C-alpha cells in the first residue's frame, strides 16, 4: 500500500487544495499528519492482556482463520511499554482493576483501549449479585471502542480494530487525553 | 568506591556483597500464565526456591450468583467456569441437577451429550497443545492446533449458534436437535482430523528442543499427585488410573470401548503424551457414538418449575478435559440451589506447582505450569 491520497476523505482533499496556493500541493502539516496517521493505524501493537473467555476469542483472532495480521496488529507485546493498544478481553474484577489501570498508565501515549465483551463494558452476566466484578472498565480507563458480545466473535473484534483505525484517521496527531 | 568493591572480588572466592533471596513477581499480566494467575517466586540466582500462587484476580463469585438463580439459569454461568471446555461443565451441572431431582434424559440426548463433550475435549486439548508449546517457545503448534479447533467450533456453531459459551446441554436433555447434515460433517471432520494427530506429534514429540524442555522436568510422583489432589491427565501422566469415565461411568461411557491413557514418567512430556493419546481415544469414542445415534426425543418432560426436594444434597463428578469436575448441590425445596460448589480440576492442580518447581530454573516454571493445563477462572471461579 503506497502513500497517496487514498486515506483522506474528499472534502479533506478539497480543503487542503484550497489552503495551498498550488493545487494538489499539501501543506507540511497535512503531509506530516497523513504519514503519522497512516503509520499509526497500520501498526497497532496490542498488549497481551487476556483475563477470561474473550481471551480465547482473541487468540482465535490471532490464529490462522481470522488472522489479525492482515490489519497490522499481530504483534502482541507482553510489556505495556511496547504496546499502544489494550484489548481488555475478559472480566475485570476489582482486584484486577488496579493492575489494568497501572498497565494503561504504563503505556506510552497515544494509546487506545478496546473494551471487549459484555463484562468489560458493563459487567455482563455478573452485573447482578456479583460482589467482585467491575461494572464497566470505563469508570477508570478511557475506552475508545466497545465490542459487545459474550464473547464477541473474532469478526466483531476485527471490526472493533477497524473502528480504532478509523478513529486514528480522524483525530489530531498530537492527541491529548484526559488524565484518569 | 566501585573500583574498591570490584577489587575485593577474588575469582572463586566469596562475594563481598551480601547474598539474599530474590523475589520475582510473575503476573497477573504475564504472557505465560494463561490468564491472570500471579506467581510470587523466590529465587536463588536462577534457581527456584519457592513458588506461591496468588489467586483471586478472576474471582467472579459464580458460586454465590448460582444461589440467586434458578437451576436452568445456573447453566449459563457454568459455561464461564471453564470456557475452554464449557460443554463439560454444562454436563456436570445438568447431570448433578438431574440426579438431585430424579430425572433422566432420553438416550438420544445422552449420545448427543457424549458426542459434544468429546468434541469439546478435542478442542480443549488442541488449544492446550498450542498454548503449552507456545509457553516453551514453539509458536507453530498454536496455529496448527487452532486450525483444527475452528473446524470443531464450526460444528458447535452449526448446532447451537455459539463458538465458546454454548449453554447447549440442559437439564433433562439438550437444547436443540442436531441438523441432518451434522452427522456427515462430523464424520468428515473425524476423517480429516485423524491424520492430523501424527502431524502434531511430528512437530513436537521427539523434537530435541521439546524433549530438553520437558523430559524429566516437573515430575509428579504418584504419592505427591494423590496427596495434593492432582487429577485428570496430569495424574494419569504419573501412571495412576483416575479416569472417572472408567471408574464411575456416567452417560453411556460403559457401552463404548476406549482405553484409559496412562504414562509412567510423571514429567511434562508424559502429561503431553497422555493428552495426545486422549485425542485419539476421543475420536474413537465420537465415531462409536455417531454409529449408535438413533432418532428419538431429545429432552424429558420437565415440571414447569424445577424444584429440588427439601434437605437434599448431591455430589456428582465427571471427567472434564482438565480432570475431575465435581458439582456439589444442596437443595432446600425452592427453585434455587441453597449452595452450589464447583470442584474444579485446575484448582487442585495449581497447588502442586510449588513442589514441582523447587530446585528447577525459572524457565521451567512455564513448562510445568503449561503442562498442568490450568484455566484461571476454574481456579478462582
Residue B288 predicted with pLDDT over 70: yes
d(CA B154, CA A107): 37
Contact: B58, A65; criterion CB under 8 Å: no
Residue B306 predicted with pLDDT over 90: no
Alpha helix locations (H) across chain B? 2-8, 62-66, 71-81, 86-101, 107-135, 140-160, 182-193, 196-204, 208-214, 222-228, 233-236, 244-247, 268-292, 345-350, 353-357, 362-371, 376-380
d(CA B169, CA B89): 9
Contact: B164, A125; criterion CB under 8 Å: no
Q: Which of A14-18, A160-164, B121-125, B218-222 has the lowest mean pLDDT?
A: A14-18
**Cell numbers representing residue B244 in the block:** 472417572
pLDDT for the residue B33: 65
Q: What is the pLDDT of residues B150-170, one digit of tens each?
A: 999 999 999 988 888 888 998
Q: What is the pLDDT of residues B170-215, one digit of tens each?
A: 888 888 888 889 999 999 999 999 898 988 888 888 888 888 888 8
**CA-wise closest residue to B93 among B107, B115, B118, B76:** B76
The matching CATH number, chosen from 1.10.645.10, 2.40.160.10, 3.10.180.10, 3.30.70.270, for B54-380 is 1.10.645.10
State the nearest Cα–Cα gap between A100 and chain B, in angstroms.
9
Whether A51 and A22 map to the same domain: the answer is: no
> For residue A2, is it within any domain?
no
Beta carbons of B158 and B81 less than 8 angstroms apart: no
Q: How far is CA B31 from CA A111, B252, B287, in A?
A: 20, 40, 37
**Is some CB atom of chain A closer than 8 A to the CB atom of B36?**
yes
Whether A70 and A121 map to the same domain: the answer is: yes
**Is some CB atom of chain A closer than 8 A to the CB atom of B377?**
yes
Whether A92 and A13 map to the same domain: the answer is: no
Q: For residue A71, what is the DSSP state? A: G
> For residue A126, is it within any domain?
yes
Give the N- to C-terminal CA distance of chain B in Å, as an integer.
Answer: 54
pLDDT for the residue B215: 87
Q: What is the DSSP string of B346-361?
A: HHHHHTTHHHHHTTSB
**Is some CB atom of chain B closer than 8 A to the CB atom of A125?**
yes
Domain count, chain A: 2
**Is some CB atom of chain A closer than 8 A to the CB atom of B76?**
yes
> For residue A62, is it within any domain?
yes
A-chain residue closest to B164, CA distance: A151
Candidate from B36, B68, B127 with C-beta closest to A96: B36
> For residue A176, is it within any domain?
no
Contact: B163, A128; criterion CB under 8 Å: no
**CA-wise closest residue to B42 among B369, B376, B360, B330:** B360
d(CA A19, CA A10): 14
Pick the residue of B58, B82, B161 with the most A CBs within 10 A to test the interface with A by mutation. B58
B-chain residue closest to A132, CA distance: B60
Whether A31 and A61 map to the same domain: the answer is: no
Contact: A63, B147; criterion CB under 8 Å: yes
d(CA B355, CA A109): 42
pLDDT for the residue B184: 92
B-chain residue closest to A153, CA distance: B163
pLDDT for the residue A90: 84
Q: How many CA atoms lie within 13 A of A28 on its CB side?
A: 0
Pick the residue of A129, A155, A157 with the most B CBs within 10 A to test the interface with B by mutation. A129
pLDDT along chain A (180 residues), means of 10: 54 63 63 83 87 87 88 85 88 88 87 89 87 88 89 91 88 58
Whether A95 and A160 map to the same domain: the answer is: yes
The pLDDT of B307-316, averaged and rounded, is: 87
Whether A124 and A159 map to the same domain: the answer is: yes
B-chain residue closest to A53, CA distance: B83
Q: Is B2 helix (H, G, I), strand (E, B) or coil?
A: helix
B-chain residue closest to A55, CA distance: B35
Residue B11 predicted with pLDDT over 70: no
A-chain residue closest to B73, CA distance: A125
**Is some CB atom of chain A closer than 8 A to the CB atom of B30?**
yes
Show me where the domains of chain B are located. Answer: 54-380
The pLDDT of B309-321, averaged and rounded, is: 88
The dihedrals phi and psi of B323, each to the nearest 5 degrees, come to 140, -155
Whether A17 and A84 map to the same domain: the answer is: no
pLDDT for the residue B294: 87
Residue B282 predicted with pLDDT over 70: yes
Chain B residues with CB-CB distance to A49 below 8 A: 29
In this prediction, residue B7 has a pLDDT band, given cuts at 50, 70 and 90, of low
pLDDT for the residue A19: 57
Pick the residue of B36, B146, B151 with the most A CBs within 10 A to test the interface with A by mutation. B36
d(CA B158, CA B170): 17
Beta carbons of A123 and A30 less than 8 angstroms apart: no
- In this complex, how many residue pairs, one in chain A and one in chain B, have their CB atoms less than 8 Å apart? 103
> For residue A99, is it within any domain?
yes
pLDDT for the residue A14: 67
Q: What is the pLDDT of residues B33-52, one digit of tens each?
A: 677 888 888 888 888 888 88
> For residue A137, is it within any domain?
yes
Whether A110 and A53 map to the same domain: the answer is: yes
pLDDT for the residue B187: 92
The domain that holds A63 is classified in CATH as 3.40.50.12280
Q: What is the pLDDT of residues B55-114, one digit of tens each?
A: 888 888 888 898 988 988 889 888 888 888 899 999 999 999 998 888 888 999 999 999
> For residue A180, is it within any domain?
no
Beta carbons of B85 and B124 less than 8 angstroms apart: yes
Q: Which residues of A27-37 are buried (b: 16+ CB within 10 A; e: fewer)?
A: eeebeebbeeb
**Is some CB atom of chain B closer than 8 A to the CB atom of A53?**
yes
> For residue A118, is it within any domain?
yes
Whether A89 and A164 map to the same domain: the answer is: yes
| Sheet bearing B22-26, strands edge to edge | B22-26, B38-44, B47-54
d(CA B123, CA B110): 20
Pick the residue of A54, A60, A61, A154 with the most B CBs within 10 A to test the interface with B by mutation. A60
Q: How many CA atoms lie within 13 A of A162 on its CB side?
A: 8
Question: Please, which residues 126-145 of chain B have a Cβ atom closer than 8 Å to chain A?
Answer: 127, 142-143
- Domain span holding position A27: 9-41
The pLDDT of B280-306, averaged and rounded, is: 89
Whether A15 and A34 map to the same domain: the answer is: yes
In this prediction, residue B5 has a pLDDT band, given cuts at 50, 70 and 90, of low
**Strand duo B47-54 + B169-170: pairing:** unpaired
Q: What is the pLDDT of residues B257-279, one digit of tens each?
A: 888 888 888 888 999 999 999 99
**Percent of chain B at pLDDT exceeding 90:** 19
Whether A148 and A70 map to the same domain: the answer is: yes
**Cell numbers representing residue B86 in the block:** 464449557
Whether A76 and A28 map to the same domain: the answer is: no
Amino acid at each position: 500500500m503506497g502513500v497517496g491520497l487514498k486515506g483522506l476523505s474528499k472534502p479533506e482533499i478539497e480543503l487542503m487544495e484550497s489552503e495551498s496556493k498550488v493545487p494538489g500541493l499539501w501543506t507540511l502539516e497535512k503531509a506530516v499528519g497523513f504519514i503519522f496517521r497512516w503509520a499509526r493505524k497500520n501498526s497497532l501493537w496490542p498488549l497481551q492482556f487476556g483475563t477470561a473467555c474473550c481471551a480465547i476469542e482473541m487468540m482465535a483472532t490471532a490464529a490462522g482463520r481470522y488472522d489479525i495480521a492482515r490489519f497490522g496488529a499481530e504483534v502482541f507485546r507482553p510489556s505495556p511499554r511496547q504496546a499502544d493498544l489494550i484489548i481488555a478481553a475478559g472480566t475485570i474484577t476489582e482486584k484486577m482493576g488496579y493492575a489494568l489501570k497501572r498497565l494503561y498508565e504504563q503505556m506510552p501515549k497515544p494509546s487506545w483501549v478496546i473494551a471487549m465483551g459484555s463484562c468489560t463494558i458493563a459487567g455482563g452476566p455478573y452485573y447482578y449479585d456479583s460482589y467482585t466484578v467491575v461494572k464497566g472498565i470505563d469508570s477508570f480507563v478511557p475506552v475508545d471502542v466497545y465490542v459487545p458480545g459474550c464473547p464477541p466473535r473474532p469478526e466483531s473484534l476485527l471490526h472493533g480494530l477497524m473502528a480504532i483505525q478509523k478513529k486514528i484517521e480522524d483525530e489530531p496527531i498530537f492527541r491529548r487525553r484526559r488524565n484518569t | 568506591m566501585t573500583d574498591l568493591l570490584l577489587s575485593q572480588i577474588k575469582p572463586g572466592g566469596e562475594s563481598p556483597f551480601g547474598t539474599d533471596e530474590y523475589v520475582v513477581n510473575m503476573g497477573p499480566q504475564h504472557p505465560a500464565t494463561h490468564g491472570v494467575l500471579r506467581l510470587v517466586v523466590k529465587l536463588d540466582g536462577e534457581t527456584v526456591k519457592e513458588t506461591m500462587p496468588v489467586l483471586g484476580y478472576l474471582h467472579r463469585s459464580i458460586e454465590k450468583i448460582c444461589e440467586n438463580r434458578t437451576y436452568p439459569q445456573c447453566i449459563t454461568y457454568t459455561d464461564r467456569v471453564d470456557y475452554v471446555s464449557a460443554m463439560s461443565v454444562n454436563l456436570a451441572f445438568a447431570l448433578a441437577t438431574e440426579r438431585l431431582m430424579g430425572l433422566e434424559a432420553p438416550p438420544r440426548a445422552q449420545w448427543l451429550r457424549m458426542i459434544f463433550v468429546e468434541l469439546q475435549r478435542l478442542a480443549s486439548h488442541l488449544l492446550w497443545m498450542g498454548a503449552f508449546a507456545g509457553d516453551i517457545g514453539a509458536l507453530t503448534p498454536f496455529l496448527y492446533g487452532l486450525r483444527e479447533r475452528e473446524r470443531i467450533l464450526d460444528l458447535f456453531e452449526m448446532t447451537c449458534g455459539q463458538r465458546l459459551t454454548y449453554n447447549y446441554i440442559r437439564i433433562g436433555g439438550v437444547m436443540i436437535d442436531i441438523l441432518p447434515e451434522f452427522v456427515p460433517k462430523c464424520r468428515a471432520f473425524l476423517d480429516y482430523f485423524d491424520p492430523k494427530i501424527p502431524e502434531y506429534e511430528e512437530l513436537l514429540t521427539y523434537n530435541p528442543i521439546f524433549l530438553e524442555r520437558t523430559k524429566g522436568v516437573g515430575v509428579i510422583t504418584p504419592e505427591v499427585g494423590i496427596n495434593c489432589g492432582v487429577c485428570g491427565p496430569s495424574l494419569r501422566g504419573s501412571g495412576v488410573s483416575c479416569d472417572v469415565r472408567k471408574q464411575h461411568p456416567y452417560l453411556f461411557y460403559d457401552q463404548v470401548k476406549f482405553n484409559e491413557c496412562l504414562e509412567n514418567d510423571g514429567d511434562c512430556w508424559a502429561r503431553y503424551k497422555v493428552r495426545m493419546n486422549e485425542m485419539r481415544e476421543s475420536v474413537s469414542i465420537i465415531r462409536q457414538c455417531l454409529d449408535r445415534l438413533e432418532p428419538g426425543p431429545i429432552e424429558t418432560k420437565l415440571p414447569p418449575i424445577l424444584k429440588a426436594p427439601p434437605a437434599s444434597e448431591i455430589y456428582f463428578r465427571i471427567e472434564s478435559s482438565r480432570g475431575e469436575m465435581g458439582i456439589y448441590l444442596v437443595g432446600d425445596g425452592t427453585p434455587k440451589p441453597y449452595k452450589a460448589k464447583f470442584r474444579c480440576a485446575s484448582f487442585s492442580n495449581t497447588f502442586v506447582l510449588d513442589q514441582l518447581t523447587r530446585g528447577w530454573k525459572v524457565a521451567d516454571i512455564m513448562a510445568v505450569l503449561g503442562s498442568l493445563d490450568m484455566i484461571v477462572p476454574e481456579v478462582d471461579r
